[in-house]
Amino acid sequence: MLMTCKATFENMLIRELGLYGWKADTSGAGWVLATVKGPYPDICFAESAGEDPVEITASSANKLTSELVDLFMAGLKDNRVDNPWPFVFNAVGQDASLSKRAKTVQAAWLKKLQKILPRVMRLAREDMTEECAARRGFFVHVTDFTRAFVSRSAKFGGQRRMQMDSKAPSRSYLKIEEAYGILGCQPGKGETVIDLGAAPGGWSYSALKRNARVIAVDNGRLLGTVKNHPGLTHHQENAMAYQPPAGVTCDWLFCDVLDQPDRILNVIFKWVGNRWCRRFIVNLKFGRTDPIPLLAKARDPGTGLAAGCSVLKIRHLYHDREELTLMGSVRT
């Protein structure tokens, strides 16, 4: 399986795979080729996972294009395509010139196939990968100037770049917006959101624009349109010690607090264990803390968050730095 991740986080991905007994065969900037055992689990650091990757080597962009056209044509043998299908051409890592190569090859590949297979190519959709599910299509990951890996089936973590809202008080807004897509739901009109560590208000703003009611808990100041919003109540107190009123269950818990990740995780354990919220989105800033034990702790089916959740997803988001974002639904 060919997995992609953010460049410089390859070792984190390899170590996370080790939690499941999976072995990395080789790796490079932004990618890991692994031998897998059993069903594909919820992987935090992987952005995509291509099944049964075919390695293609070519000395030029033209030769790579021809190889990819031939591979695509061979895959259509005895198969009829009647529905929209996705394709991805991705240059892994952070090399701008490699990205340019991938775009050049993609354009040439499309041009050739549109002449040969106009009906099939009218059904092609670039990057239909937001929904996190396994997809059938044509997924190309260019790893260097002479090599690419191609999969016909791939799974996606749902990470993607979001568009900033100029009215949001901080860029943390991008993380919560990205998390909604991965979790598959978002706050709705009239729902109650408790936002721990709300200041300056990026996550609260995201909930308010969806007409949810927000209880913001932070000793710090809220900024912009959030500060005096009629749908928000600001409790200026310690977010880590805050508890909802007895017998009250909020619809959503948000938590984006700058603190030790183990400490934040323990607070979230308490919220989930006491069923003080129905859903949650929590950001852990691991920095110098090893994130792999944090993942194992959260996912433990007996003592971790997983024990109290009907849904638990953990991602290294596109907009995360040295952070993990946990999303879930609490078991009723």
How confident is the model at residue 152, as a pLDDT?
Answer: 95
Helix, coil or strand: residue 123: coil
Strands 147-156 and 192-196: unpaired
Cα separation, 6 vs 52, in Å, equals: 21
Query: Residues 6 or more apart from 14 whose CB is under 8 A from it?
Result: 24, 27, 32, 34
Strand-pair partners of 253:
194, 280
Report the pLDDT value the prediction gives residue 36, as an integer from 0 to 100: 84
Q: Which tokens go with 213?
A: 């009611």
Torsions phi, psi for 218 (to 5 deg): -170, 140
pLDDT at 17: 96
pLDDT tens-digit series, residues 82-114: 999 999 999 998 889 999 999 999 999 999 999
Residue at token pair 């291509």: 50
Domain membership flag for residue 249: yes
Q: Give the per-residue pLDDT at 93.
A: 86
- Residue 264 near residue 257, CB atoms below 8 Å: yes
Report the CATH number that the domain containing residue 226 is assigned in CATH: 3.40.50.150
Question: What secondary structure letter does DSSP report for 163?
Answer: P
Task: State residue 128's pLDDT score.
Answer: 60
User: Which of the listed residues 125, 156, 187 is the one where a domain comes to its end?
Assistant: 156
Query: Residue 61 gets which letter from DSSP?
Result: H
Q: Do 242 and 312 lie in a common domain?
A: yes
User: Which pLDDT score is estimated for 135?
Assistant: 86
pLDDT at 129: 62
User: What is the distance between the alpha carbons of residues 3 and 20, in angstroms, rounded to a whole number?
Assistant: 15
- Distances in Å between the Cα of 65 and the Cα atoms of 61, 102, 146, 178 are 6, 10, 11, 33
Considering the domain architecture, whether residues 59 and 183 belong to the same structural domain is answered as no
Q: Where are the beta strands (DSSP E) in the chain?
A: 2-4, 23-28, 31-35, 48-51, 54-57, 85-91, 124-126, 135-144, 147-156, 192-196, 213-217, 232-235, 250-255, 277-285, 309-315, 323-330
- Same domain? 104 vs 187: no
pLDDT score for 202: 98
Tell whether omega for the bond before 200 is within 30 degrees of 0, i.e. cis.
yes
Local confidence pLDDT in tens for the 332 residues of the chain: 999 999 999 999 999 999 999 999 999 999 999 988 888 888 999 999 999 999 999 999 999 999 999 999 999 988 889 999 999 999 998 889 999 999 999 999 999 999 999 999 999 998 766 656 678 999 999 999 999 999 999 999 999 999 999 999 999 999 999 999 999 999 999 999 999 999 999 999 999 999 999 999 999 999 999 999 999 999 999 999 999 999 999 999 999 999 999 999 999 999 999 999 999 999 999 999 999 999 999 999 999 999 999 999 999 999 999 999 999 999 98
CA 318/CA 128 separation, integer angstroms: 17
pLDDT attached to residue 156: 92
Residue 87 and residue 126 in contact, taking contact as beta carbons nearer than 8 Å: yes
Characterize the bridge pairing of strands 31-35 and 2-4: antiparallel
Check whether residue 182 and residue 290 sit in a common domain: yes
DSSP state string for 219-231: SSPP-GGGTT-TT
CB count in 10 Å sphere of residue 145: 16
Query: How confident is the model over 6-31, as pLDDT tens digits?
Result: 999 999 999 999 999 999 999 999 99
pLDDT in the model for residue 236: 96
Same domain assignment for residues 140 and 178: no
Hey, what are 325's tokens? 């974002």
Residues 190 and 228 in one domain: yes
> Cα angle at 205 between 202 and 210, to 5 degrees?
140
Q: Are residues 274 and 315 in the same domain?
A: yes
* Matching residue, tokens 């638990």: 312
The active-site residue out of 63, 112, 285, 297 is 285
Q: Is 161 helix (H, G, I), strand (E, B) or coil?
A: coil
The CATH number linked to 86 is 3.30.2130
- CA atoms of 165 and 182, how far apart (whole Å): 19
Residues 151, 204: one domain? no
Instruction: Verify that 180 and 264 share a domain, yes or no.
Output: yes
Q: Can you give the residue range of the structural domain that contains 193?
A: 173-330
> Domain end: 115, 130, 156, which one?
156
Identify whether 285 is a catalytic site residue: yes
Instruction: Write down the number of H helices and E strands in the chain.
Output: 8, 16
**Are both 215 and 318 inside the same structural domain?**
yes
Number of domains in the chain: 2
The pTM of this model reads: 0.94
- CA angle centred on 92, ends 86 and 96, rounded to 5°: 110
User: What pLDDT does residue 131 have?
Assistant: 59
